[in-house]
Chains A and B, each alone.
Chain A
Amino acid sequence: MIVQVNGKRSELPDSIKSIAELLAHYELDKKVVIVEMNETIVDRNEHDNTIIQEGDKIELVQFVGGG
């Protein structure tokens, strides 16, 4: 499946269906991340249930502590 992640065309393995699986794919599942899909924030409780479709535009913003 082809989607846009952070503005870049990304080809995802077929095994990835949900936002939660996408975060695991990018090794962000244990991080604090804000997810926006098609310009709408996806609530953290909905990461498992939110299914990714071909062509979706996804933005991932991770909170980090450094500085």
Chain B
Amino acid sequence: MTNRYSRQILFQNIGEQGQQKIQSKHVLVVGAGALGTGLGENLVRAGVGKVTIVDRDYVEFSNLQRQQLYTESDAINRIPKAVAAKKRLKEINSDVTIVSHVLDVTKEELEDLIKGVDIIVDGTDNFDTRLLINDIAQKYNIPWVYGACVSSYGLSYTIIPGETPCLNCLLETVPLGGATCDTVGVISPVVQMVVAHQTTEVLKLLVGDKESLRKKLVSFDLWKNDHMSINVDKVKKSSCPSCGDNPTYPFLSYEHETKSTVLCGRNTVQIRPPKPVDRDLNQLKDILTNQGTGTIEQNPYLLSYTFGEKRMVFFKDGRVLVHGTNDISEAKTLYHRIIG
């Protein structure tokens, strides 16, 4: 072995054996935004055997302040985050098998993605996907590490199926998303802090040191200098539909699938066809060109169409981002106007 991991091996809680375990494991990072890029970089530098990273979005300039794997060139060319992240992660550590997917995570995709995965880490920006991860993790008995942040506040919790309460126990209801991110922003150090907590818990799990897990719900506000840590064991409910005695995994059912989502802080709505499609972007370009209004830009992964105050971005998998609105019905109208 090269000395790439020497400092990590010297760290006595990992050691030579721990490092070998790390290198034999597969971690799934869901989301390649602020948390996801931090997590991806940490895990790849640590030498995790295989890292899968998935994301539905592409890089924009407003990401660069905190999404550490991306460059100005990625933003100029609107490179999908999963593509840009993989490229950078490969440069960082070619030993690691890096798999990336440009997709919106749904039940079907997650069922595929979690095959052979040892741990799932949360790099998402919404509760819909987290509750989906939570149910999948319970169903297939995979530990997962929740993390989230907004403004200068962040929190994290490690969920071990069969042992700890799950996210559904903790939340009880689905919080109304978007209210915060749209208005209050986020600073980079709080992202790093959440990522630090998440990565450390993942490393403990990877080397099998469950004794050292934090076991508490942790939260902090770096600007207000607050630090909270709560034992939430008591919150675990035997009646929980996700992790209780008779689980029904409610978030894996069709009714809970989100077809249209307002993207946090982006003034953007995502619309997803009921089933993935292979959209012919060249054909779409012809159609839009014939319409005669608006500006079309294209790269191998997506087509961007700007008209008036709005911009629509069409992905090959059928998804469409409608920028310039937070109104799902308006977005759907525009979508159907073009896609039919």
Contacts and interface: CB of A to CB of B under 8 A. Distances in A.
B149 interface: yes
Interface residues of A, number: 20
A52 to B, nearest CB: 17
Contacts, number: 86
A65 interface: yes
Contact of B230 (A32, A34, A44): A34
Contacts of A66: 125, 148-150, 180-181, 186, 264-265
Interface residues of B, number: 44
A61 B180 contact: no
A61 B181 contact: no
Nearest to A40: B234
Interface in A9-67: 31-32, 34, 36, 39-41, 44, 59-67
A64 B155 contact: yes
Given A41-B232, A59-B230, A67 B194 contact: yes
B219 A67 contact: no
B147 interface: yes
- Majority-rule SS of B interface residues: mixed
A41 B235 contact: yes
Interface of B: 31, 33-36, 122-127, 130, 147-150, 153-155, 170-173, 175, 177-178, 180-181, 186, 191, 194, 217, 219, 226-232, 234-235, 264-265
Interface of A: 6-8, 31-32, 34, 36, 39-41, 44, 59-67
Given A67-B31, A67-B33, 12 more contacts: A32-B172, A34-B230, A36-B231, A41-B232, A59-B230, A60-B228, A61-B230, A63-B170, A63-B171, A64-B154, A66-B125, A66-B149
